Amino acid sequence: MIDKALPSLRAWTDAFSRVQIPVLPGSVAELNQLRTIEETKGTVDAHTLAEGLSNDPLMTLKVLVHVSRYCTRLSVEPPETLVGAIVMQGITPFFKAFKDTTTVLEWLHEQPDALSGLIKVITRARRAAHFAMGFALRRQDEDATVIQEAALLHDFTEMLLWCHAPKLALEIATRQKADYTIRSVDIQREVLGIELGDLSQELMRLWQLPYLLIKCTDDHNAADPKIRSVMLGVRIARHTQYGWEDQHALAALPDDVNEVAKLLNLSYDAAYRLLQGFDN
């Protein structure tokens, strides 16, 4: 476990590039069940596997990193989606590669506060992915699946922080809850010495993840409609994580709704109704 800030972005990247990625217990249960079906009937395909695992950002990340390393050895471009990654590896090698996968319950069994914080981030990531997919479909974007995946993975370094530096993650969360007016990146710089978004980009490049996935999670290129879809999904999920009537949500949502209206060419009221419809 990391108990204090590391000296540089490079040090954080080096440390996190080698850490174990535990996954949700449901993913391990799904893997075990599908493995049994494959061994007895041979009917499991990549779409079935992806459907069972795609709601877990940590499992999705774990698979993409594993397959990207495999593609690097073969000197081929990594697939952009979870389905493509499973197809690239093959069903039997996939089950073999993830036979002994640690769950977050096992990893954080002595850290209940960290487990609770991690689950909150994962829940928020799922909502972000749902919003982003909704925006992409309204825009008829051909890369809707990648946009959804990018939103799901956008805050993966925050998830890893809860797993491997829980004391620091808890300090950030405590400061954010105490004063919603302080920007998250400012608190991250104070506590960690870096911004988690920068760490995400460095890790994805180091792991040689798909270019489009890296692009869609890069908040510095916000003019691109694909990236806007991801960023707005992430922002709205974050702002409404404690409810649409929460004080923080009421303060932040007007700007968010205006940007969604511009992205989708809607009126403010229509955009607000659409967002609440997505969430329901």
pLDDT at 183: 86
Class of domain 112-279: mainly alpha
- Three-state DSSP at 23 gives strand
What distance in Å separates the CA atoms of residue 203 and residue 208, rounded to the nearest whole number? 8
pLDDT at 72: 87
Residues of the chain with pLDDT under 50: none
pLDDT tens by residue, 67-84? 999 898 888 999 999 999
The answer to whether the CB of 103 falls within 8 A of the CB of 59 is: no
pLDDT tens by residue, 25-54? 999 999 999 999 999 999 999 999 999 999
What distance in Å separates the CA atoms of residue 104 and residue 63, rounded to the nearest whole number? 16
Residues belonging to the chain? 280
pLDDT at 74: 84
What distance in Å separates the CA atoms of residue 12 and residue 47, rounded to the nearest whole number? 34
Q: What are the residue ranges spanned by the domains of the chain?
A: 23-101, 112-279
Of the chain, the percentage scoring pLDDT greater than 90 comes to: 90
pLDDT at 177: 83
23 forms beta bridges with: 103
Q: Tell me the pTM.
A: 0.96
